[in-house]
């Protein structure tokens, strides 16, 4: 079976590593940048590199692991050229905009919309790591729009990567990830910028920052090329999440100005409840529940 991985960065490269040596799978890599492609090959992320047109028309499975604006632009064309029984899966972090782009495509049933919730703040072929997806959750969206065979194959592939698949509508997906993922990224990017703005002397940040700061701004190291289209495609729900976050910050600032100890403590204690969720996350494996 020919697997064509389009985009050999953190996600595509990590998929490639995990599929290495699986019987019957040939990993064919495609990347816009020849130097990335070459690096991915030398790192063993794929078995061979091929020119995009040839790779796509010969593929049994196409995995799209490129920025979401590129997925949006390429997906319809890819569905046009693949074999009539090929399965096309995207692994992007937004789902509604991409889904709408192919809603009326005659080959919509060959496409499976997925989002494995896994990653690191690094990017490029060298960022690929084995086991990145193991034990994590994968979300397949609008399952009813994918053909039975294609969805089953996609689920098998995700299961090989160690992912637990749950199901959701694309709109519901985008709303949830706006809060639990995209807002985290934006808050981290802008926290980084606020501190850089204030501390002109980077040596000072370096000396004074504890591990808490490093943890909070870690996501600000993420790739702007990848994140700009994600926040744009999810602008509506992310905008709502940002509005709520800003409201909480401003309310806190008001209590702080008033030196209202009781209110400040109440806010921190309430937020503290996130400990329950986080501690569970460290201890339990993610549940294999089916959402909706």
Of residues 139 through 198, those in contact with a second copy by CB under 8 A are 139, 166, 176-177, 179-181, 183-198
- Does the CA dihedral 21-22-26-27 come out positive or negative? negative
Please state the closest distance from residue 113 (CB atom) to a second copy, in A. Answer: 16
Q: Which tokens hold the place of 245?
A: 């976050």
The rounded distance, in Å, linking the Cα atoms of 26 and 85 is 17
Hey, what are 263's tokens?
């209110």
Token readout for 171 is 């709109």
Choose between 84 and 212: whose C-beta lies nearer to a second copy: 212
* Distance of alpha carbon 193 from alpha carbon 212, whole angstroms: 16
Q: Which residues, 85 to 104, sit near a second copy by CB under 8 A?
A: none
In whole angstroms, the minimum distance from the beta carbon of 120 to a second copy comes to 8
Residues binding a second copy: number (CB under 8 A): 99
| Contact pattern from residue 233 through residue 252 relative to a second copy, giving x for each residue in contact according to CB under 8 A and a dash for the rest | --x--xx-xxxxxx-xxx-x
Stretch that binds a second copy, among 19-27, 58-66, 82-90, 266-274 (CB under 8 A): 266-274
Residues 7-46 touching a second copy, rule: CB under 8 A, are none
3-state secondary structure of 88: strand
Q: Return the sign of the alpha-carbon dihedral for residues 119, 121, 124, 129.
A: negative
- What torsion, rounded to 10 degrees, do the Cα atoms 114, 71, 185, 289 define? -10
Q: Is 106 in the site for a second copy (CB under 8 A)?
A: no
What's the closest the beta carbon of residue 217 comes to a second copy, in angstroms? 5
Q: Which residues contact 60 (CB under 8 A, 6 or more apart)?
A: 1, 2, 3, 83, 85, 86, 87
Pairing of strands 87-90, 61-64: parallel
- Applying CB under 8 A, which part among 5-13, 32-40, 48-56, 117-125 lies near a second copy? 117-125
- At closest approach, how far in Å is the CB of 122 from a second copy? 10
Cβ distance to a second copy smaller for residue 87 or 165: 165
CB of 207 to a second copy, least distance (A): 5
């Amino acid at each position: 079976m020919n697997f064509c991985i389009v985009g050999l960065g953190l996600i595509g490269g990590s998929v490639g590593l995990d599929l290495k040596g699986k019987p019957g799978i040939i990993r064919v890599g495609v990347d816009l940048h020849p130097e990335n492609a070459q690096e991915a090959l030398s790192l063993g992320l794929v078995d061979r590199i091929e020119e995009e047109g040839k790779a796509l028309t010969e593929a049994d499975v196409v995995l799209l692991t490129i920025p979401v604006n590129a997925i949006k632009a390429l997906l319809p064309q890819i569905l046009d050229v693949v074999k009539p029984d090929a399965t096309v899966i995207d692994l992007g972090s937004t789902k509604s905009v991409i889904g709408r782009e192919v809603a009326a495509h005659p080959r919509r049933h060959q496409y499976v919309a997925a989002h494995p919730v896994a990653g690191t703040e690094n990017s490029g072929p060298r960022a690929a790591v084995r086991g990145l997806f193991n034990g994590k959750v994968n979300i397949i969206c609008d399952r009813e729009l994918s053909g039975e065979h294609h969805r089953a194959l996609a689920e098998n592939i995700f299961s090989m990567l160690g992912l637990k698949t749950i199901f959701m509508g694309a709109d519901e997906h985008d709303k949830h990830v706006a809060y639990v993922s995209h807002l985290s990224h934006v808050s981290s990017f802008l926290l980084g910028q606020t501190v850089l703005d204030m501390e002109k002397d980077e040596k000072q940040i370096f000396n004074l920052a504890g591990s808490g700061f490093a943890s909070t701004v870690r996501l600000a190291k993420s790739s702007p090329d990848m994140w700009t289209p994600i926040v744009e495609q999810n602008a509506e729900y992310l905008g709502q999440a940002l509005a709520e976050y800003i409201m909480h910050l401003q309310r806190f600032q008001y209590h702080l100005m008033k030196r209202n100890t009781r209110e400040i403590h109440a806010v921190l204690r309430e937020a503290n409840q996130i400990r329950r969720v986080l501690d569970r996350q460290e201890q339990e494996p993610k549940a294999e529940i089916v959402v909706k």
